């Protein structure tokens, strides 16, 4: 295991190990994308209240805005954020630079070009019918005739470049015993390639209907579970010990957590289409492995909380730790919820309702976005070499986000239960929609809080970059006296 | 153990591979075995243009002729189905409407017989449009639920038809008087097609390895 050091390591040839400008650009792009995504989510939520601002525009129709919302969150915010984070973490842990800085810039611009083509495609009704993989194929369905930029192909190229870029240092370090973070990153990069290819090729070109649905279910699931989750836990295993200046509590629990994720997680894919024409035994398999994984998640969360033992004050003194642990709590809540709602008993009520939307926001915003905000809290001053502009704004960002997601989650969960029982009770559809409207107002309000928080965070980043208080690397990351 | 190759091959390729076999190859093989599952291509599906497609031609002869000069032929029907489906995807209708009826929650009383795998074994369900959210009703059995006129009025302004509706208006696919543009024709033709692959005389499905749905 490589040791952490506070000084940027400089290999013998004198060139820096970590390329900060690349990180900076990725974080900035990520910040812009999360803003776009949230504004889109907010706009879309207005449709549910009857106040959608562009009712007569085909290009900016609510449906298109929804595609913007989820795809900018995934391909814009999370991918940019995680890639930037990897540029810091992987060289630090392996001691080797990423493949090439030039390649880094190529990746950066290819990726932003992908986002542009994707957005242009959505506006022109080009979209692939795969949830979270709506990036246009660019081909007229069922033929090889182009009708748009082949974004799927570009994403594949972009992903392969990212993988090459990051796999080179990982491969060079193959003689080392890997630290936990690298377990997640190495496997996660392999999974990313396999998942993306599987999800975008098989249902579209090979298997129709129910057999294809098993694959799209697996795709939605694997993109979250085998790319986003490994990146998330990998960064937690890196930054938490680094900031707290103590090792992870239990190595065995780390091992269990990793291997159980690797084994059980992909088996649960079909749980996105339960009680469907997919054969029952496949559904039962997915349900039981999904429940199994919650047991494992508990071990990982316990491991992190035991690590925090004796350093609880860091939650108060260090904003990064606060984001990380708030995210971990929400991770646990989401996974705990999952063990229940994956069963048919819950599924028959809550599937197709706002319950699931609440769940999706809790994990995507409450956990993974929180963790990326934590990473930004650590990286941004080192990237722009300036002290954070305002601790106050950091506090606003955190508390508005936390309050917002808590309200949104509780609100949508309740809305989902009400809608689900009304559907079962054969109430007219109008009852269900009318009963949901007050909850949709609260959701929009919660979104407003979250966006306001985000603005505080982004403004703080902006002012930090412009400030002239030079950042000096701290000797100790948290006050030892506070123990 | 805790080295590069372990994570590339055992965790990366290995675990993914196991899941791929269990949740893709297995269901695919059992669904293939299941009788009556023959893949229908678009031209087979469109062999007999629907009554609704012909009614559109009767109701809007000039507009129809401008888009489909040969009239309501199978070829044009196929074209309309494909374009309608693309629009249904591109406008993300599938994020507000599902396309499968489950055996639970009294759904069959609301929308009709539960969906079965064979219904989706065709080119217009590749990829399927099952969806994961129902803001509006399920559309798997939409065929015949409403007339063309109802759909036109509904697309022009959903609130005129169902005052509580939160569905967006798609008036830009129609003239103000309701005459459809190419997109309007396609969308309605596609919607009226939904559910026509269901065959009531088809034997009740017994999922291989699972329980039958009585
Ligand atoms: C300002 C805050 C936000 C608002 C107002 C908002 C609003 C919405 C709305 C209205 C939907 C559609 C729900 C439906 O189909 O009924 C949605 C879906 C979704 N949003 Fe957000 N969102 C916000 C932040 C985020 C963030 C930051 C992420 C991820 C990083 C995210 C990820 C998602 C996902 C994955 C879905 C799909 C859920 C599903 O289909 O089950 N959202 N959001």
- Assigned domain for A228 exists: no
Residues A69 and A167 in one domain: yes
| Mean pLDDT along residues A457-476 | 89
Query: How high is the pLDDT of residue A10?
Result: 58
What's A294's domain CATH number? 1.20.210.10
Segment A255-314, tens digit of pLDDT: 999 999 999 999 998 999 999 989 889 999 999 999 999 888 999 999 999 999 999 999
Please count the structural domains in chain A: 2
- Which residue out of A39, A70, A78, A411 has the highest number of ligand 1 atoms within 8 Å of its CB and is therefore the one to mutate? A70
pLDDT at B205 exceeding the cut of 60: no
Q: Rounded to whole angstroms, how far apart are CA atoms B130 and B140?
A: 8
Q: What is the ipTM of this complex?
A: 0.92
Nearest-neighbour CA in chain B from A57: distance (Å) = 8
CB B30 within 8 A of CB B208: yes
- Assigned domain for A184 exists: no
**Given A133, A151, A176, which residue is the final one in a domain?**
A176
| Domain boundaries, position A452 | 241-483
| Mean pLDDT along residues A230-251 | 95
Of all protein residues, whose CA lies closest to atom 22 belonging to ligand 1? A41
Q: Which residues contact A395 (CB under 8 A, 6 or more apart)?
A: A319
**Given A176, A199, A216, which residue is the final one in a domain?**
A176
Handedness of CA B94, A356, B22, B212 (dihedral sign): negative
Residues A263 and A151 in one domain: no
What is the distance between the terminal CA atoms of chain A, rounded to a whole angstrom?
A: 26
Query: How high is the pLDDT of residue A43?
Result: 97
- Assigned domain for A196 exists: no
| Mean pLDDT along residues B9-16 | 94
B155-183 b/e (C-beta count within 10 Å ≥ 16 → b): bbebeebeeebbbbbbbbbbeeebebebb
Best of A169, A227, A276, A434 to substitute, by most chain B Cβ atoms within 10 angstroms, is A276
| Mean pLDDT along residues B21-27 | 87
| % pLDDT > 90, chain A | 87
Nearest Cα to A432, choosing from B166, B92, B101, B104?
A: B166
- For residue B132, give the chain A residue with the closest CA: A352
Average predicted confidence (pLDDT) for chain A: 92
Residues A167 and A264 in one domain: no
Six-digit token pair at A317?
């003194």
- Assigned domain for A292 exists: yes
Residues A171 and A308 in one domain: no
CA distances (Å), A63 to each of A41, A45, A70, A156, B151, in order?
11, 11, 11, 25, 18
pLDDT at A46 exceeding the cut of 80: yes
Nearest-neighbour CA in chain B from A61: distance (Å) = 7
Query: How high is the pLDDT of residue B1?
Result: 76
pLDDT at A8 exceeding the cut of 70: no
Query: How high is the pLDDT of residue B89?
Result: 96
- Which residue out of A357, A359, A370, A451 has the highest number of ligand 1 atoms within 8 Å of its CB and is therefore the one to mutate? A357
- Assigned domain for A207 exists: no
Residues A288 and A155 in one domain: no
Query: How high is the pLDDT of residue A112?
Result: 97
Nearest-neighbour CA in chain A from B149: distance (Å) = 21
Residue B37 backbone zone (phi > 0: left; psi -120 to 50: alpha; other: beta): beta
How confident is residue A2, by pLDDT bands cut at 50, 70 and 90? very low
Q: Rounded to whole angstroms, how far apart are CA atoms A151 and A147?
A: 11
Residues A167 and A248 in one domain: no
| Mean pLDDT along residues A15-40 | 96
- For residue A258, give the chain B residue with the closest CA: B11
| Mean pLDDT along residues A123-150 | 90
């Amino acid at each position: 295991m490589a040791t952490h050091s506070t000084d940027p390591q400089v290999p013998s040839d004198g060139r820096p190990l970590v390329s900060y400008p690349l990180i900076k650009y990725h974080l900035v792009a990520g910040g812009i994308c999360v803003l776009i995504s949230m504004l889109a989510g907010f706009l879309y939520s207005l449709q549910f209240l009857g106040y959608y601002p562009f009712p007569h525009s085909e290009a900016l129709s609510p449906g298109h805005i929804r595609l913007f919302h989820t795809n900018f969150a995934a391909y814009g915010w999370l991918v940019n954020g995680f890639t930037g984070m990897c540029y810091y973490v992987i060289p630090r842990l392996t001691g080797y630079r990423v493949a090439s800085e030039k390649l880094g810039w190529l990746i950066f611009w290819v990726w932003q070009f992908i986002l542009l083509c994707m957005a242009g495609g959505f506006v022109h009704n080009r979209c692939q019918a795969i949830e979270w993989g709506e990036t246009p194929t660019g081909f007229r369905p069922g033929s090889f005739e182009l009708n748009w930029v082949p974004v799927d192909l570009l994403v594949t190229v972009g992903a392969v470049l990212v993988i090459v870029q990051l796999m080179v240092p990982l491969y060079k370090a193959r003689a080392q015993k890997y630290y936990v973070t690298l377990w997640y990153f190495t496997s996660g990069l392999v999974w990313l390639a396999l998942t993306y290819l599987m999800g975008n090729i098989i249902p579209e070109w090979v298997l129709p209907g129910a057999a294809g649905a098993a694959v799209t279910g697996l795709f939605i699931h694997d993109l979250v579970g085998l790319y986003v989750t490994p990146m998330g836990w990998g960064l937690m295993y890196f930054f938490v010990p680094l900031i707290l200046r103590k090792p992870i509590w239990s190595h065995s629990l780390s091992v269990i957590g990793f291997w159980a994720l690797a084994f059980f997680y992909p088996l649960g894919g079909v749980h996105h289409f339960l009680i469907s024409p997919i054969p029952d035994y496949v559904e039962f398999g997915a349900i039981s492995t999904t429940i199994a994984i919650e047991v494992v998640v508990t071990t990982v969360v316990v491991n992190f909380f035991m690590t925090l033992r004796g350093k609880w004050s860091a939650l108060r003194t260090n904003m990064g730790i606060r984001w990380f642990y708030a995210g971990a709590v929400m991770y646990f809540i989401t996974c705990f919820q999952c063990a229940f709602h994956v069963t048919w008993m819950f599924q028959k009520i809550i599937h197709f309702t706002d319950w699931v939307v609440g769940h999706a926001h809790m994990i995507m915003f409450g956990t993974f976005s929180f963790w990326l905000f934590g990473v930004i809290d650590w990286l941004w001053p080192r990237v722009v070499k300036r002290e954070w502009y305002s601790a106050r704004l950091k506090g606003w960002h955190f508390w508005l986000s936390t309050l917002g997601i808590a309200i949104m989650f509780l609100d949508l969960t309740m809305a989902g239960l009400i809608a689900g029982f009304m559907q079962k009770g054969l109430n007219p559809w109008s009852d269900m929609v009318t009963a949901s409207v007050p909850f949709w107002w609260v959701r929009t309000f919660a979104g407003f809080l979250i966006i306001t928080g985000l603005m505080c965070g982004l403004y703080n980043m902006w002012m930090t970059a412009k400030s002239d208080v030079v950042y000096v690397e701290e000797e100790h990351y948290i006050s030892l006296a506070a123990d | 153990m805790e080295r590069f190759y372990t994570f590339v091959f055992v965790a990366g390729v290995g675990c993914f591979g196991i899941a791929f076999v269990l949740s893709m190859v297995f269901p695919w093989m059992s669904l293939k075995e299941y009788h009556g599952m023959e893949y229908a291509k678009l031209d087979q599906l469109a062999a007999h243009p629907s009554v609704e497609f012909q009614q559109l031609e009767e109701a809007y002869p000039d507009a129809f002729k401008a888009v489909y000069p040969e009239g309501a032929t199978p070829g044009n029907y196929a074209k309309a189905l494909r374009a309608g489906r693309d629009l249904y995807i591109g406008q993300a209708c599938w994020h507000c409407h599902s396309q499968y009826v489950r055996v639970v929650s009294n759904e069959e009383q609301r929308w009709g017989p539960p969906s079965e795998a064979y219904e989706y074994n065709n080119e217009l369900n590749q990829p399927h449009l099952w969806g994961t959210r129902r803001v509006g009703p399920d559309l798997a059995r939409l065929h015949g639920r409403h007339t063309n006129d109802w759909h036109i009025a509904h697309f022009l302004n959903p609130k005129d038809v169902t005052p509580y509706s939160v569905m967006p208006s798609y008036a830009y696919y129609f003239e103000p008087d309701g005459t459809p543009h190419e997109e309007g024709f396609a969308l309605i033709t596609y919607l009226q097609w939904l559910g026509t692959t269901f065959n009531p005389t088809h034997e009740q499905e017994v999922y291989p390895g699972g329980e039958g749905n009585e």
